[in-house]
Structure 1
Amino acid sequence: MHAKSTFTVADYTPTENPGQVGDLPMIDTAASAGLAYLTKTFTGELSGRSVTWFLGALNQQTGAGSYVALEAISGEICGRSGTFNVVHGASTHGADRTDEHFRIVPDSGTGELVGISGTGTLSIDPDGTHHFDLDYRLPD
C-alpha cells in the first residue's frame, strides 16, 4: 500500500551543545554536529502530526553533511488511526540528496496501525513543499 502526504515543520528547536559528554570534551570536526527537535503536521493520505529527534552534521563552508532522525507519528493512514515510529537519514553535498534510508521501526505501531511495516522517502520541491511518501504493509 502507498500513502502520499505533504508536511510542514511547525517548530524547529535546536538543543544547546553540552560542551562535553561524561568526562570527554566535544570533538570539533569540519562538519559541526547538532541536535534539534521538530514538530510536523501531515496532510494527505497520511494525516496527523509528529515529533522528530534530528541529529545532523554540516560543513558550513561546503554545504556537505548528513542527518539521522527518529520520528514518532500520530495520525491516520487511509482511514486507519494509530501511532508508529520511522527512522530516516540522508547525506548531501549541497543541493543533492544521497544515501537516503527510511524505514518504519519494527513493532512500533499502535491502534489500527499495529503491525505496520515498510519504507518511504522524503523530498522537497523547488518551491519548498515537503513530501512524505510511505510504502507500507498492515496485517489483514
Structure 2
Amino acid sequence: MRVNGTFEVADFTPAQVPAPDIKTGLPVGVATMRKTFAGGVSGRSVTIFSAAYDPATDTGTYVAMESFEGSLDGKPGAFNFAHSATTEGAGGGADYLVIVPASGTGALAGIRGTGGLDIVADGTHRIWFDYELG
C-alpha cells in the first residue's frame, strides 16, 4: 500500500569525522539531520547523512540511514530506511529508498518495502512509502 507525506528538515549539523586520505574531485562530508513529517507519514526522524557534493555545480551523491518514529496511515511505530540520490546540476538520477528489513516496531513490526523522496517546484519536500506489513 502507498502512503504519502511531506517533511521539513528541522536541523542539519555537519559532523566532525576524519577526512579520507584519498583526494577525489569532490569533497566528502558527514552530517546528522532531524526531520518532521506530516500527512499519511507523520512523525519525526534522525538521519546519518554522507555525501560527495559540489554546491557550486549542484553535482554529487548522498547516502543516508534514517530512523523514523511516528505513524504510517495511522499505524504507530518506528523503523529504519536507507536512501540515496545523485544529481548533476539541474538533472537527477539514481534515486533509491528501501525500508530496512526487520527494523519495524509497534504496529509497523514486519514492515518492508520501498519509496521515494522529491522536492516540488514550490520547495515542498515529499516522501512516500510503498509498504507491506507481515
- Taking structure 2 as the reference length, the TM-score comes to 0.94
Which of 110, 113, 123 aligns to 2:118? It is: 123
Residues 77-131 of structure 1: CA deviation (Å, up to 9, x unaligned): 1121000000010111012220111100000000110000000010001221100
The equivalent of 1:27 in structure 2 is 22
**Root mean square deviation, CA, Å:** 1.3
Q: Distance in 1 between matches of 2:53 and 2:37?
A: 26
Find the aligned partners of 1:120 and 1:94 in 2 and give their Cα distance: 23
Within 5 Å, give how 1:51-90 maps onto structure 2: 51-90=46-85
* Preserved CA contact (<8 Å) 1:67 1:90: yes
8 Å contact from structure 1 (residues 31, 60) kept in 2: no
Q: TM-score, normalised by structure 1?
A: 0.91
Gapped runs of 5+ residues in structure 1?
Answer: 20-24
Larger Rg: 1
CA distance in 1, matches of 2:76, 2:118: 24
> How far does residue 60 in structure 1 lie from its aligned partner after superposition?
4.2
Q: Which amino acid aligns with 2:3?
A: A
% identical equivalent positions = 48
Matched, 1:109 2:94: no
Gaps spanning 5+ residues in structure 2: where?
none
Cα distance in structure 1, aligned partners of 2:14 and 2:22: 18
Q: 4+ runs of 1 displaced by more than 4 Å?
A: none
User: What secondary structure is seen at the aligned counterpart in 1 of 2:91?
Assistant: coil
The residue identity in structure 2 corresponding to 1:26 is D
Distance 1:137 1:34, change over 3 A: same
Distance in 1, Cα, partners of 2:99 & 2:128: 12
- Amino acid in structure 2 at the alignment position of 1:106: P
Q: Read off the aligned partner of 1:46 and give its amino acid letter.
A: V
- Distance in 2, matches of 1:116 and 1:60, equals 35
- Confirm whether residue 44 of structure 1 aligns to residue 39 of structure 2: yes
Tell me, in whole angstroms, the C-alpha distance in 1 between the residues paired with 2:78 and 2:88. Answer: 33
Tell me whether 1:15 sits opposite 2:10 in the alignment.
no
- Structure 1 residue 28 displacement after superposition: 2.1
Number of positions where the alignment pairs a residue of Structure 1 with one of Structure 2: 134
